[in-house]
Amino acid sequence: DVIIVTNKTTDTKEDYHNYLSSNGFNISLENIISSTEVIREYIIENFPSNKFFAIGEDKFIKSLDNHIVSYSDKPDEIDIVIVTLDRTLNFQKIEIAAKALERGAKFFAANIDDTCPVDNGEITDAGTVIPALEKRTGRKLEQHFGKPSQFMIDKILSRMKFPRNNYLLVGDRMQTDITMGKIMGVKTCLVKSGVKNKFTEYEFKPDFEVDSVYDLLSKTL
């Protein structure tokens, strides 16, 4: 039983499903969990008829914008500010978010990763923008919905068919993946081919470490 959990909000679940399928991984759409859907469900359930602004990309905004909650870029009418990965970030977006936060809008993040791994390194992610907005406004982030949040953990638990000691959490980021495994009480495996982790920041260690996903598969099979 494999559950895929992602903090990446720049593609839809369907995109990730297609990508996995085309690489030979037959995982049901239901067993792919993204922070987009976790925050989407939370906001629709808890803040109906609210308006949100997002430092986030079009696909993320479109996933949330519907007849229950809707997108706005007018600080005077924004109830919720959401921060996530946004390669179209600019000064104007920071100012809209800051002015809404100064007026008292809720301060949420879809995920808290500092960076997002890409082919030639890492790029700026939500975790970089959050302290900027905190410094700019004097506000503090109130909630986030990706790994390792309780919202995400509850979603994962709802998908697990077996007791949790049957699962191994595999991830490349100490701050989100391995931390979540520790909170959930499942065994964890750190893959070292992804993001650069500053290990000294964490007092705990993953149960296993491998150099790459390939190594993990060759050891398991």
Binding positions for its own copies, rule: CB under 8 A = 86-91, 94-95, 98-99, 102, 114-115, 121, 123-124, 127-136, 138, 198
User: Residue 192 and residue 170: Cα distance in Å, rounded?
Assistant: 11
Least distance from C-beta 197 to its own copies, angstroms?
Answer: 10
Least distance from C-beta 79 to its own copies, angstroms?
Answer: 20
Least distance from C-beta 87 to its own copies, angstroms?
Answer: 5
Q: Residue 79 or 114: which CB sits closer to its own copies?
A: 114
User: Residue 215 and residue 165: Cα distance in Å, rounded?
Assistant: 22
Least distance from C-beta 155 to its own copies, angstroms?
Answer: 26
User: Residue 96 and residue 48: Cα distance in Å, rounded?
Assistant: 21
Give the residue among 174, 179, 167 at the shortest CA–CA distance from 190.
174
Q: Is the peptide bond before 148 cis (omega within 30 degrees of 0)?
A: yes
Q: Residue 87 or 219: which CB sits closer to its own copies?
A: 87
- Say if residues 171 and 148 touch (Cβ distance below 8 Å): no
CA pseudo-torsion sign 128, 133, 135, 140: negative
